[in-house]
Amino acid sequence: MNPVTLTTKLIAVIGQIQAHSGLDCPQLTGATKPVGNVPGFDSKIWPVATTILSSEIGAPIPNDVNIFVDETTKLPRSIDEIAAFVSEWLRKQAKKEGAE
């Protein structure tokens, strides 16, 4: 899936979660890092956001895949980085399924 499309959908998902939670939502851009920059957006919310995004794009993303924090560096990803990560992850999954 195209990272630009993923960025748009992820911004909408985060905005929706913040609105439903009654929390403030800063202006979201591709450079925004949800972890640390979006009030209340923590490890309890990540699986919810991942599930909603998965539903929005029609592709499964398991909850054990942390799209919000880089596993190697342990640093939060920006929305653009998350979109690129998910795009690449989905590509690898499709390739893996095609090989089976």
pLDDT confidence bin for 31, thresholds 50/70/90: very high
Nearest residue to 50 via CA among 24, 91, 86: 86
27, 75, 55, 58: CA torsion to nearest 10: 110
Across the range 37-51, mean pLDDT stands at 94
- Give yes or no for residue 93 having a pLDDT over 70: yes
Q: How many CA atoms lie within 13 A of 98 on its CB side?
A: 6
Q: Hey, what domains does the chain have and what are their CATH numbers?
A: 3-93 (1.10.1200)
Q: How do residues 67-83 score in pLDDT, each as one tens digit?
A: 999 999 999 999 999 99
Q: N- to C-terminal Cα distance for the chain?
A: 21
State yes or no: pLDDT of 98 exceeds 80.
no
**CB atoms inside a 10 Å sphere around CB 34:** 27
Whether the per-residue pLDDT at 33 is higher than 70: the answer is yes
Q: Where are the alpha helices (DSSP H) in the chain?
A: 3-21, 34-37, 46-57, 79-99
pLDDT at residue 99 in the model = 66
* Tens of pLDDT, residues 49-58: 999 999 999 9
